[in-house]
Chains A and B, each alone.
Chain A
Amino acid sequence: MSRTHPKPTGSSATRPSHPAKPVKAPAQKATKSTSAEAAAKKAPPAPKRPTGAVLWAAGLTKEYGDLPALAPLDLTIPEHQSVVLIGHNGSGKTTFLRMAAGLLEPTGGIVELAGHPVGSVAARAAVSYVSDNPTFYEDLSVWEHLEYVARLHGRDDWEQDAANLLGQLGLYERADDLPVTFSRGLRQKTALTLGLIRPFDLLLIDEPFVGLDASGKAALLELLDETRDKGAGLVVATHELEFVQRVSRCVALRDGQLAYDGTTEGIDVLGLVS
């Protein structure tokens, strides 16, 4: 490696092990958006907001031209809850996650994150989104990406955590390489480290297991467990049975409509996604 990064704690650089007990990073609470609040006040009478919800969606819809992608969807995810989002291809999972992340504009309805309107500065501080189609700067290495994202979110003590994350996902030796040159699996891993290096209240991940090898999947499952242990909310769109078994709540979408919302115990995942 051309520069000296901190090594993953408790291990050599070449054989990284699990990180030291994670220290909950203080979430960067940005200045509340006054104009966003003003807009929210002007909005027509909205459905009653639940208290203590990290994600609240009411009547959320999305249409592409004359094609409905998401029918009116009402969903509340309390703080610290982990949810698996399942559904067949085109069921609306990615549309929902991208709307919750603020990348897509709803055709109708409301989304709030930690009590803030989606897209506001406070909501952006609260939610971390990892897409199934990672994009990177062409001129930044993995390490420089981590620095950029962490510092934009107000973290100055990011280096040790970055090294630990890279070590866990087997990327430490590639920290100085450009992620745009990586394979599908390595790109996915890099995107995951970028999603996890910053503080958040809710992590939204779209198909994180696609393209990962067995060790990558194991490391990711562990990272997701740690995220949950830290107290963050989690919404993961996946059909990975091993993950489904680890969470208590499952939300299934079918043709843009809510098909199931309940416990994961004894559910027929294949039946819900077929």
Chain B
Amino acid sequence: MADSPSVGAATLRELRGQRRRNRLRDLDWFEAAYRAYLTGIVGLVVVLVVSSWLGDSRPSPAGFADLLEHGPAAIGLLAAAAVALGLRSGSRGGPLAVEPAEVRYTLLAPISRRTALIGPALRQIRFTAFLGAVVGAIGGVLAWRRLGDNGFAWAASGAATGASIAVLVIGCALVASGLRMRPWLATLLGAAILGWAVADVAGYVACPTTTFGSLFLWPLRIHWIDLAGPIGALLITAFGLSRLGSVSLEAAERRTGLVGQLRFAVTVQDLRTVIILRRQLAQDRPRNRPWFNLPGRSRFVVWRRGWHGLLRFPIVRVGRLLLLAAGAAVALSAAYHGTTPLVLVGAICSYLAGLDIIEPLSQEIDQPDHTDSIPMERGDLLWRHAAAPAVVAALLGLVGAAVAVAINRTTESIELAAVVFLPVAWCGTAGAVLSTVMGAPEPFKDGQLLPPEVAGMKLAFRTAWPLIVALIGTLPIVTARRAFTNGNSPIPAAAQAGVAALLVAAFTVAWLRFREPARAWWKQYMEEGQQAARDRQAARRGTS
């Protein structure tokens, strides 16, 4: 929307100043100081833990040379990923998330929107830059432990790099928002920049984001051209700020409502709510009409209902599922060829795809009133919901297998993909089923009557268990790799591990079916035991 010079900027400043004074008056300084203290302690622990992982042994001269050659591009890749995120955020109304009332009263008032938004925008830039500087400085200190020289210089270069990348992210988001960039265009642009950075890492072509990585290495050598990165970030941000008056009120209003809820859901680890809110933020809505109508009638009503939901997936979600399948295939191929930690990436891809494809089951979990009104045992209903997603997971697994075969192009890869695709797909889906059905952890309920240490461990296990199940699906890759390095045939080893992984997935479905009857039986058993103990005690009192 068009804007004009402000009519009342001074009034706005005065009224906002009044609000700020009100907030400061009501601030609990002791609480704020305690939070700062906790943040400091946590930050220190993180630094110490990461330092201990990295160790402090000096790299060899060859290692130094390798670092100077590839380090900047690798850090530049991180900057490119941040740019892509910024562009996507901006295309959805970010990076600002003002209060809903601010949209309704201030942005609809006859004052320049740029004037109204410049304050919140500068505050966000300042905070993000500070956060980036802190993270960068920590990275600098960690680098200093391995690479030596002047610790202050490393911290300073890290802080400058972190702050510059943070400003770049906000700047890109402001530009995308101010230019009303379409989400598909922002994604395309982000992907192009990311691809460029990957090509730089591979040594094909230099990418501008590499200057940020090179800036980080200034304590080792100084290239004045690296200042182009931070200067570019500032220029992009300045352009973004100049376009503040053109932000979309529709996107801003949608975002203001959702971002607060999203932060809260993340805080309480409510994954299902995070997924729903993220979809709303991205306007990832089911199609009004399914891709095609299911023919005729079916005896299996839950199976049919599942397909009704799955066939309404929007194209964006379908694309994301295909990308996740391909991502899992690439990661697991690399894991088989020696980079074992990438099994974690493969498992996460499979788990994230699972969270999308169990949507019909998730909808049932979201609507307990509907489910409870059906004259059917809850477990009996829920486990039937696993059927349609299992078929989709298998199809996605086949897509992943095709990608893996296309990458490796060997007979062995075809055989391995045929053995591995189902365990990976179904264990990822099983992990997603576990996290959705268990819901958000409730510390007071889950830890009732347990000592704090046990309650904490139980909570941690409960949080990690879905991912562990997804990770079990990648066991065939790990065992195949081990068999190969030991000079054995990888396929039989993978098949054995695959059967074990499929059993875990089957146990999950059984858990879904018999969870509530088992709980009821256990509760009754405990109550009977307690009653018997009370009866014995009463009998003893009677006799005495």
Partner of A151, one of B1, B2, B15: B15
Q: For chain A, residues 19 to 52, give those with C-beta under 8 angstroms from any C-beta of chain B.
A: 28, 30-39
CA gap between A99 and B526 in the complex, in Å: 60
Contact of B249 (CB < 8 Å), options: A65, A119, A138, A149: A119
B101 near A137: Cβ-Cβ < 8 Å? yes
The number of A-B residue pairs with CB atoms under 8 Å apart is: 114
- Give, as a whole number of angstroms, the nearest-CB distance from B318 to chain A: 14
List of A residues within 8 angstroms of B5 by Cβ: 31
Contact present for B110 and A139 (CB under 8 Å): no
Q: In whole angstroms, what is the CA distance A4 to B300 when docked?
A: 69
A214 at the B interface (CB under 8 A)? no
Contact pattern, B 108-142, Cβ under 8 Å of A = 1, otherwise 0: 11111000000000000000000000000000000
Q: Report the separation of the CA atoms of residues A64 and B250 in the bound assembly, to the nearest whole angstrom.
A: 12
Check A136 against B101 for contact (C-beta < 8 Å).
yes
Contact between B109 and A149, CB atoms less than 8 A apart: yes
A67:B288 contact, CB within 8 angstroms: yes
Which residues of A are found within 8 Å of B287, using beta-carbon distances?
Answer: 65-66
A140 at the interface (CB under 8 A from B): yes
A119 to B1, CA, bound (A): 6
What residues on B are CB-neighbors of A147 within 8 Å? 15
Number of A residues contacting the other chain (C-beta, 8 Å)? 46
In the assembled complex, B536 has its CB within 8 A of some CB on chain A: no
CB distance from B91 to the nearest CB of A (A): 14
* A65-B285, A65-B287, A137-B19 as given contacts; A103 in contact with B249, CB under 8 Å: yes
Q: Which residue of B lies closest to A34 (CB)?
A: B4
List of B residues within 8 angstroms of A144 by Cβ:
18
* Complex CA distance for A125 and B101, rounded to whole angstroms: 17
Residues on B with C-beta less than 8 A from A145 are: 105
CA–CA, A244 and B12, complex, Å? 38
List chain A residues, Cβ under 8 A from B249: 102-103, 105, 119
Indicate whether A121 reaches chain B with its CB closer than 8 angstroms.
yes
Q: In whole Å, how far is A147's beta carbon from the nearest beta carbon of chain B?
A: 7
Residues on B with C-beta less than 8 A from A138 are: 99
CA of A135 to CA of B1, assembled, Å: 22
Whether B253 contacts A152 by the Cβ 8 Å rule is: no
The answer to whether B309 has its CB under 8 Å from any CB of chain A is no
What's the Cα separation between A211 and B497 when bound, in Å?
A: 62
Residue B106, interface by CB 8 Å: yes
Residue of A65, A102, A148 touching B15 (CB-CB under 8 A): A148
Residues of chain B contacted by A35 (CB below 8 angstroms) = 2-4
Least CB distance from A274 to B in Å reads 23
Interface residues of B in 389-435 (CB under 8 A from A): none
Asked whether, in the complex, the Cβ of A117 is within 8 Å of the Cβ of B2, the reply is yes
Within 8 A of A (CB), among B1-32: 1-5, 7-8, 11-12, 15, 18-19, 22-23, 26
Chain B: which residue is nearest A147 at the CB level?
Answer: B15
Chain B, Cβ-Cβ closest to A179: B101
| Most chain B Cβ neighbours within 10 Å, of A32, A39, A136 | A136
A66 B289 Cβ-Cβ under 8 A = yes
Q: Which of A28, A37, A135 contacts B101 (CB 8 A)?
A: A135
B248 within 8 A of A: yes
Residues of A within 8 A of B195 (CB): none
Alpha-carbon separation in the docked complex, A195 to B185 (Å): 38
The residue of chain A having its C-beta at the shortest distance from the C-beta of B19 within the complex is A139
Write the chain A residue with the least CB distance to B108: A124
Interface contact B110-A28, CB-CB below 8 Å: yes
A136 to B110 CA separation, bound complex (whole angstroms): 19
Given the complex, which residues of A lie within 8 Å of B109, measured CB to CB?
Answer: 124, 149, 152-153
Contact A33 B15 (CB under 8 A): no
Judge if A104 is at the interface, Cβ distance under 8 Å.
yes
**Residue of B4, B26, B112 contacting most chain A CB atoms (<10 Å):** B4
**Measured between alpha carbons, how far is A154 from B283 in the docked complex, in Å?**
37
> How near does chain B come to A96, taking the closest CB pair, in angstroms?
14
Name the A residues within 8 Å of B112 (CB-CB).
121
| Interface assignment of B314: CB less than 8 Å from any CB of chain A | yes
Smallest Cβ-Cβ distance to B287: which chain A residue: A66
Q: Separation in Å of the A267 CB from the closest CB of chain B? A: 32
For window 182-198 of A, CB contacts with B under 8 Å fall at 194
Bound Cα distance A67, B312 (Å): 13
Which residues of B, 265-313, contact A by the 8 Å Cβ criterion? 283, 285, 287-289
| Also in contact, A102 and B110, with CB within 8 A (given A137-B19, A137-B101, A151-B15) | no
CA distance A39 to B101 in the complex (A): 28
The residue from B4, B99, B108, B250 contacting A137, defined by CB atoms under 8 A apart: B99
Contact call A33/B4, Cβ cutoff below 8 A: yes
Residue B183 at the chain A interface, CB threshold 8 Å: no
Chain A residues whose CB sits within 8 angstroms of the CB of B283 once the complex forms: 65
Q: Which residues of A contact B7 (CB under 8 A)?
A: 28, 30-31, 121, 154
Q: Which residues of A contact B110 (CB under 8 A)?
A: 28, 30, 121-122, 124-125, 152-154
**Is A82 in contact with chain B by the CB < 8 A criterion?**
no
Q: Are A103 and B253 also in contact (CB < 8 A) when A151-B15, A154-B8 are? A: yes
B8 touches A152 (CB 8 A): yes
* Distance (whole angstroms) from the CB of A67 to the closest CB of chain B: 5
Find out whether the CB atom of B253 lies under 8 angstroms from the CB atom of A120. no
The answer to whether A66 and B288 touch across the interface, beta carbons within 8 angstroms, is yes
Q: From residue B104, how far is it (CB to closest CB) to chain A in Å?
A: 5
Q: Is the CB of B4 within 8 A of A120?
A: yes
Closest A residue to B4 by beta carbon equals A33
Contacts of A104 in B (CB 8 A): 250
Which residues of B have CB within 8 Å of A102? 1, 108, 249
Instruction: Give chain B nearest CB distance to A257 CB in angstroms.
Output: 17
Residues of A within 8 A of B248 (CB): 105
* CB under 8 Å from chain A, chain B span 249-271: 249-250, 253
The smallest C-beta distance from A265 to any residue of chain B, in angstroms, reads 35
A148 to B17 CA separation, bound complex (whole angstroms): 12
Tell me, yes or no, whether A101 is within 8 Å of chain B by CB.
yes
Tell yes or no: B447 within 8 A of A by CB: no
> A56 in the interface, Cβ–Cβ < 8 Å?
no
Contact between A152 and B106 (Cβ–Cβ < 8 Å)?
Answer: yes
Indicate if B100 sits at the interface (CB-CB under 8 A): yes
CA distance A144 to B22 in the complex (A): 11
Let me know if A129 is at the binding interface, CB within 8 A: yes
Q: Which B residues are in CB contact (< 8 Å) with A61? A: none
Residues of A within 8 A of B289 (CB): 66
Chain B residues in 8 Å Cβ range of A122: 110
Contact (Cβ within 8 A) A121 B4: yes
Nearest to A65 among chain B residues (CB) is B285
Shortest Cβ gap from B230 to chain A (Å):
31
Q: Could you say which residues of chain A place their CB within 8 Å of the CB of B23?
A: 139
A/B interface sample: 6 pairs, CB < 8 A: A28-B7, A35-B3, A103-B253, A124-B108, A125-B110, A153-B110
The 8 A-B pairs of least Cβ separation, nearest first, read A36-B2, A119-B1, A125-B110, A30-B110, A152-B109, A135-B100, A33-B4, A35-B2
Chain B residues proximal to chain A, CB less than 8 Å = 1-5, 7-8, 11-12, 15, 18-19, 22-23, 26, 99-106, 108-112, 248-250, 253, 283, 285, 287-289, 314
